[in-house]
Amino acid sequence: MQPAARARHSWHGGPPPTYQPRFSEAVIAQARSWACSQALPHAEVQWARLVLLLHEQPDLRSPEAARRLGQSTAWVCKWRRRWVEQGFSLQGTSRPGRAPQFPDWVWALVIAIACELPSRLGRHP
């Protein structure tokens, strides 16, 4: 009895990528400057690193790209798909969730009161 034929995968696993975004030279230049930034949010640096990785190795499987960046395979697949379907942008998208319940000045006031010494508020232990 012959063993069942197995799907052909590269040594690092996973099927060939369905979504293979292509990047302009302007995007690559921006990604190079962002990829080693200490000032940008971590997510934007990771997006830039993914851009460079996919530009240098467009056929790289998502599990291997995820391993190299310390991300999940689902994260790599999400960004590959989004960049192919919706166009490319290194700018973050708005995050889901409800709006803050209190304005910033209220938070600042609460923090200031919480940081006051009890003796300054007339409270003695």
Using CA of residue 53, residue 38, residue 29, residue 26, what is the dihedral sign? positive
The pair of three-digit structure tokens given for residue 75, joined into one six-digit string: 């994260």
Q: Please tell me whether residue 36 adopts helix, strand or coil conformation.
A: coil
Residue 124 placed within a domain: no
Q: Alpha carbon 44 to chain centroid distance?
A: 6
Query: To which residue do tokens 């499987």 refer?
Result: 61
Residue 123 placed within a domain: no
The pair of three-digit structure tokens given for residue 28, joined into one six-digit string: 């690559």
The pair of three-digit structure tokens given for residue 122, joined into one six-digit string: 């007339």
Residue 68 placed within a domain: yes
The pTM of this model reads 0.62
Residue 48 placed within a domain: yes
Question: Is residue 19 very low, low, confident or very high in pLDDT (cuts 50, 70, 90)?
Answer: confident
The set of residues, in sequence order, having a beta carbon less than 8 Å from that of 18 and lying 6+ positions away, is: 80, 81
Query: To which residue do tokens 């590959």 refer?
Result: 80
Q: Tell me how many domains the chain contains.
A: 1
The pair of three-digit structure tokens given for residue 85, joined into one six-digit string: 């379907």
Instruction: Give me the domain span that covers residue 56.
Output: 25-86
**What's the pLDDT score for residue 91?**
64
Query: Tens digit of pLDDT for each residue in 59-88?
Result: 889 999 999 999 999 999 999 998 888 887
**How many Å apart are CA 12 and CA 49, to the nearest integer?**
19
**What's the pLDDT score for residue 73?**
92
Q: Is 48 exposed, middle or buried (0-12, 13-18, 19+ CB in 10 A)?
A: buried
Query: Tens digit of pLDDT for each residue in 37-60?
Result: 888 888 889 999 999 999 999 888
Residue 122 placed within a domain: no
Residue 113 placed within a domain: no
Residue 119 placed within a domain: no
Residue 99 placed within a domain: no
